[in-house]
C-alpha cells in the first residue's frame, strides 16, 4: 500500500491509465493519511483545514490527462460547497457557491479534490504561523516552520500526505515554502493562470502555481492550469503549451548570478549549497556568469508598499454583511450596535495581527498626502526592477539565486519582528514584481535542512525554466524521502 504513495503524480497517472493502479485506491490511501494528520492534533503537521470525506466519483474519462490523481488545494481557492477560509477567522466555515477556474480545470483534467491546505491568513506570511487555524509544522523538523504562505501545501507534499498541491505566490509564497520543505514549487508568469476564485491578497502579484515532489510533476500540473479565462481580465493566452521536461544537460545555457541577491543577508550554509549547485550546473555544460539587478535590493520595500496597498482594498469586502463573521453587538449600552460599530469590531475580531498590520500599512500608503511618496514611488521602483531583468536577460538565459536567505527557522523565532519575517522574501520578491516565472528546487542540505535554488526566466519562458530545473534536479539527486511520514 505505501508503495503507491511513493509514486510521483506523473507515475501514478501512467499506472492508472495502464490499469495497474486503481484511482479509487490511490485516493483512499491519501485520504486516510490526510485525515490522520488532520486528526492528530499536536502530533500532526496541521497541513489541512478540510479533508474529503469520501472518494469522488471517478473522472468522466480515464483518458483525462491527470485522471485519478488526488490534489491538495490551498485554502484560499474557492471550492463550491467546501470550506474556503483563506486561513482567516473572518471566513470561518465559509462555503463558496462557485469553484475557482484553475481548480475546475484540474478537476476537468481528472484530478480529485483531496483536501484544502492550511496557509497564512490571506496569504500574508512566510512561516504559516499567521493562520487562524494553527501553525503548520515542517516535516523535516517539527519544531520548525514550513515557510509560507502556502505552508500547508508544501508540508503536505513533502510529508507525502498529498501527491501534489496547488499554492499561490504573491512575493514568494510558493517558492519559499517549497525551499524550506525540500520540494519543487513554481510561480508562473503573471497572467498565465486565472486568478478567478482565488481569494485575493495583492491582485497585481498573485499567481497560482504547483507544489510537487519533482520538476516533471510541476510541469504536468502547470500544463493543465495555464490558459486564458474570460472571467479574469488579467489572464493571458499562454503561448504554446507547457511540455514535460526531459533535458539532462545544460550545454550552452547561460546562467546569471545577481550579486545583489547572493551576498549579504544570505546564510552561509545556504550560500554553500547554492554554490555547490552552480558548480554542478557548470559540470552539465552551463555557462555561469555574474549579472546585475541594481534595483533588486529595493524590491522588498516596493513590495511592502504595493502588496499591502492592494490588500487593504481587497480585504475591504470582509465587512460582516454578505458572508463570514459578524461581530456580535457591542455590550456598551450607550453605544448601540450601529453600522460603524459592526464594521470595526467585525474586522477587529475577524482579522489576525499580521493582516491588520498590512491593512493599516496599505491604507496609510494610499491615503491622501502619502500616495505619491509611497504607492507612486513603489510603482516606479517596480518599473526599474522590470527594466533590470530585461537588461539581464539580454546577457543570460536564466537567473539563479538561493530561494530563501535561510533554512527553515524555529516556530516563534520571528513572530515578534515583522521586518525580520519580511526579509524571507528578499530573493523571491523581485521576480514577483516583474511578473516573471521562477521555480524553486531543492539543491542540498544545510544543518540537515533543505536549501532551495531559484531559477527565473523571462515572461513565458516556463518551458526553458522547467528544462533547466529538470536537468539540475537529476544531477543533484536530492532525496526528500526522509521527510515523508
Partner 1 sequence: MIDRDQVLHVARLARLALAEDEVEPMARELSAVLDHVAKIRELDLDGVAPTSHVVEVTGALRPDEPRPCLPREVALAQAPAVSDDGFLVPSPQA
Partner 2 sequence: MEPQPVSEPARTPQPPVGGPIEDDLYEPVIGLEIHVQLATATKMFCGCALSFGEPPNTRTCPVCLGLPGSLPVVNARAVHFGLMIGLALGSQLAPRSIFHRKNYFYPDLPKGYQISQYDEPLCLGGHLGDVRIHRVHLEEDAAKLIHVGASGRIHGSDASIVDFNRGGTPLAEVVTEPDVRSAEQAGEWLKLLRVTLRQLGVSDVNMEEGSLRCDANISLRPAGQEELGVKTELKNMNSFRFIERGIKAEIARQEKILRGGGHVVQETLHFDPASGAITSLRSKEEAHDYRYFPEPDLLPVAIDQQMLDAARADMVELPAARAERLQSELGLSADSAQLLAFRGELGDFFLAALDAAVDPAPPAQALANWVTGELAPRLGDGDADAAGEDDADAGSSSDPAASRVQPSALAALVGLVAAKRVSVGAARQVLDKLVAQGGDPQAIVAAEGLAAIDGGDELAGIVAAALAANADAAQRVREGNAKAIGPIVGHVMRETKGRADGTEVARLVHEQLGA
Residues marked as catalytic: 74, 149, 173
Using CB under 8 A as the binding rule, whether residue 319 contacts partner 2 is answered as yes
Site string for partner 2, 229-268 (x = CB under 8 A): -xxxxx----------------------------------
Please state the closest distance from residue 193 (CB atom) to partner 1, in A.
13
Using CB under 8 A as the binding rule, whether residue 145 contacts partner 1 is answered as no
Q: CA 312 → CA 125, 276, 347, 358, distances in Å?
A: 15, 42, 12, 7
C-alpha dihedral (289, 295, 299, 301), degrees to nearest 10: 150
Q: Which residues of 10-47 are buried (b: 16+ CB within 10 A; e: fewer)?
A: bbbbebbbeeebebeebbbbbbebbbebbeeeeebbbb
Q: Are strands 207-212 and 254-258 parallel, antiparallel or unpaired?
A: unpaired
Q: Residues 406 to 425: which contact partner 1 by CB under 8 A?
A: 418-419, 422
* Residue 350 interface partner, choices partner 2, partner 1, none, CB cut-off 5-8 Å depending on type: none
**Distance (Å, rounded) from C-alpha 461 to C-alpha 447?**
33
Block residue for cell numbers 490534489: 71
Block residue for cell numbers 517539527: 142
Question: Which CB, 230 or 394, lies closer to partner 2?
Answer: 230
Q: Residues 171 to 200: which contact partner 2 by CB under 8 A?
A: 195-200
* Residue 351 interface partner, choices partner 1, partner 2, none, CB cut-off 5-8 Å depending on type: partner 1
CA-closest candidate to residue 95, choices 84, 108, 111: 84
Count the residues of the shown chain that bind partner 1, applying the rule CB under 8 A: 67
Q: CA 43 → CA 32, 142, 416, 483, 485, distances in Å?
A: 16, 9, 25, 15, 12
- Of 23, 102, 293, 378, the residue at the interface with partner 1 (CB under 8 A) is 378
**Distance (Å, rounded) from C-alpha 328 to C-alpha 211?**
39
Helix (H) or strand (E) segment spanning residue 289: strand 287-291
C-alpha cell at 76: 484560499
Q: Residues 330 to 389: which contact partner 2 by CB under 8 A?
A: 336-340, 343, 363, 366-368, 371, 375
Using CB under 8 A as the binding rule, whether residue 279 contacts partner 1 is answered as no
Site string for partner 1, 456-485 (x = CB under 8 A): ---x--------------------------
Count the residues of the shown chain that bind partner 2, applying the rule CB under 8 A: 50
User: What is the biggest distance separating any 2 CA atoms in the chain, rounded to whole angstroms?
Assistant: 76
Instruction: Output the CA torsion sign for 322, 360, 135, 445.
Output: positive
Quickly list DSSP for 70-98.
EEEEETTB-BTTB---TT-GGGTT---SS
Using CB under 8 A as the binding rule, whether residue 332 contacts partner 1 is answered as no
Q: Residues 232 to 251: which contact partner 1 by CB under 8 A?
A: 233-234, 236
* Residue 200 interface partner, choices partner 1, partner 2, none, CB cut-off 5-8 Å depending on type: partner 2
- Of 27, 122, 190, 238, the residue at the interface with partner 1 (CB under 8 A) is 190
**Distance (Å, rounded) from C-alpha 396 to C-alpha 392?**
6
**Distance (Å, rounded) from C-alpha 84 to C-alpha 106?**
17
Using CB under 8 A as the binding rule, whether residue 97 contacts partner 1 is answered as yes
Q: Residues 429 to 458: which contact partner 1 by CB under 8 A?
A: 433-435
Q: Which residues bind partner 1 (CB under 8 A)?
A: 94-95, 97, 190-191, 204, 230, 233-234, 236, 295, 298, 300-302, 304-305, 312, 316, 319-326, 336-345, 347-348, 351, 356-357, 359-361, 363-364, 367, 373-374, 376-384, 386, 418-419, 422, 433-435, 459
Q: Using CB under 8 A as the criterion, which residues of the chain lie in contact with partner 2 when the complex forms?
A: 76-78, 84, 86, 91, 94, 96-98, 100, 195-200, 202-204, 230-234, 309-310, 312-313, 315-319, 321-323, 329, 336-340, 343, 363, 366-368, 371, 375
Amino acid at each position: 500500500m505505501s508503495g503507491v504513495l511513493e509514486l510521483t503524480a506523473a507515475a501514478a497517472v501512467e499506472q492508472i491509465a495502464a490499469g495497474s493502479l486503481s484511482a479509487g485506491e490511490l485516493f483512499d490511501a491519501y485520504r486516510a493519511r490526510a485525515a490522520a494528520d488532520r486528526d492528530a492534533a499536536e502530533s500532526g503537521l496541521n497541513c489541512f483545514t478540510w479533508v474529503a470525506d469520501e472518494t469522488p466519483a471517478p473522472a468522466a474519462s480515464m483518458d483525462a490527462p491527470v485522471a485519478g490523481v488526488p490534489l491538495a488545494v490551498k485554502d484560499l481557492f474557492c471550492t463550491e460547497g467546501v470550506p474556503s477560509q483563506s486561513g482567516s477567522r473572518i471566513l470561518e466555515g465559509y462555503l463558496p457557491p462557485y469553484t475557482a477556474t484553475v481548480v475546475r480545470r484540474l478537476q476537468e483534467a481528472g484530478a480529485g479534490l483531496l483536501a484544502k491546505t492550511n496557509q497564512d491568513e490571506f496569504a500574508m506570511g512566510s512561516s504559516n504561523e499567521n493562520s487562524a487555524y494553527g501553525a503548520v509544522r515542517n516535516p523535516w523538523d517539527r519544531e520548525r516552520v514550513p515557510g509560507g504562505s502556502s505552508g500547508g501545501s508544501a508540508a503536505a507534499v513533502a510529508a507525502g500526505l498529498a501527491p501534489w498541491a496547488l499554492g499561490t505566490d504573491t512575493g514568494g509564497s510558493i517558492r519559499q515554502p517549497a525551499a524550506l520543505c525540500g520540494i519543487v514549487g513554481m510561480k508562473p508568469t503573471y497572467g498565465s493562470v486565472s486568478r478567478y476564485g482565488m481569494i485575493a491578497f495583492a491582485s497585481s502579484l498573485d499567481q497560482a502555481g504547483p507544489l510537487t515532489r519533482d520538476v516533471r510533476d510541476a510541469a504536468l500540473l502547470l500544463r493543465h492550469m495555464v490558459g486564458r479565462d474570460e472571467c479574469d481580465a488579467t489572464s493571458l493566452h499562454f503561448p504554446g503549451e507547457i511540455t514535460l521536461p526531459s533535458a539532462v544537460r545544460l550545454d550552452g545555457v547561460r546562467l546569471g548570478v545577481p550579486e545583489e541577491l547572493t551576498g549579504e543577508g544570505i546564510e552561509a550554509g545556504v550560500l554553500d549549497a547554492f554554490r555547490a549547485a552552480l558548480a554542478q550546473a557548470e559540470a552539465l555544460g552551463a555557462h555561469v556568469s555574474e549579472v546585475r539587478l541594481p534595483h533588486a535590493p529595493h524590491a522588498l520595500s516596493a513590495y511592502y508598499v504595493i502588496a499591502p496597498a492592494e490588500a487593504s482594498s481587497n480585504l475591504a469586502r470582509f465587512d460582516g454583511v454578505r458572508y463570514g463573521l459578524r461581530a456580535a453587538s457591542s455590550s456598551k449600552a450607550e453605544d448601540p450596535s450601529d453600522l460603524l460599530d459592526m464594521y470595526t469590531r467585525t474586522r477587529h475580531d475577524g482579522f489576525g495581527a499580521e493582516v491588520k498590520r498590512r491593512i493599516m500599512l496599505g491604507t496609510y500608503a494610499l491615503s491622501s498626502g502619502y500616495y505619491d511618496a509611497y504607492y507612486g514611488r513603489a510603482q516606479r521602483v517596480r518599473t526599474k526592477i522590470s527594466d533590470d531583468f530585461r537588461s539581464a536577460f539580454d546577457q543570460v538565459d536564466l537567473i539563479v539565486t538561493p530561494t530563501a536567505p535561510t533554512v527553515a527557522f524555529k516556530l516563534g523565532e520571528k513572530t515578534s519582528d515583522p521586518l525580520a519575517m519580511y526579509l524571507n522574501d528578499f530573493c523571491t520578491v523581485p521576480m514577483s514584481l516583474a511578473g516573471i516565472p521562477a521555480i524553486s528546487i531543492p539543491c542540498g542540505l544545510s544543518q540537515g535542512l533543505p536549501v532551495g535554488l531559484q531559477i527565473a526566466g523571462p515572461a513565458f519562458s516556463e518551458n526553458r525554466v522547467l528544462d533547466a530545473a529538470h536537468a539540475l534536479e537529476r544531477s543533484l539527486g536530492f532525496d526528500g524521502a526522509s521527510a515523508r511520514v
